[in-house]
Chains A and B, each alone.
Chain A
């Protein structure tokens, strides 16, 4: 079983619809992240959470919201989807280990979202 599981794997929706992408992890990590990947642009950080009570905006949070329901669950919502939110979305987790520096990220398999 995957350590970081994203659902759904693929989703097609229409402009204006609300949609939720879900992420769950069995790694026991406190830190969770949502990134989006667009061709030629690499990965950009949307939101991140360092523990259940901590939510932080990333580089491109406009149009998105998140919920950290438990240590293991971090969901991303698009309140009113628009076509330029069509992208590949990744959830990731990390364990900071010692100190404040981030350690490596563990990624889910991604959700391909298409907004028509």
Chain B
């Protein structure tokens, strides 16, 4: 069964705007990761946040984790057309990574 569940399922924004994607999960985790997939290609790791961390930054990416609410959010600032892709959250428990169904992000030029 899916552990992570992303919200919204699809998001369309204008270039330059910020994109916020959310992920909720059901059980305890070791860490939570976000991946990106460009149209049918392999997934690429974006960022990892451990269960004892609350916020992490990497370039234009900011991820937060609230273990009490079992939720995470990924913020992409100043979006670009090239950010158009599907984004997946994945939860790590006991060295097994479980993926959500993904969010489709469209950034309009």
Contact = CB atoms under 8 A, between A and B. Distances in A.
Interface string B76-109: 0000000000001010101111111110000000
B59 interface: no
Given A101-B92, A102-B30, A102-B96, A42 B42 contact: no
Interface string A87-110: 010101000100011111111111
A105 B97 CA distance: 9
Contacts of A107: 42-44
Interface centre among A33, A40, A88, A105 (most CB of B within 10 A): A105
A108 B35 CA distance: 14
A12 B43 CA distance: 23
B49 to A, nearest CB: 12
Interface of A is mostly: strand
B41 interface: yes
Contact of A45 (B48, B94, B96, B100): B96
A55 B45 CA distance: 24
A104 B48 contact: yes
B85 to A, nearest CB: 14
B33 interface: yes
A105 B98 contact: no
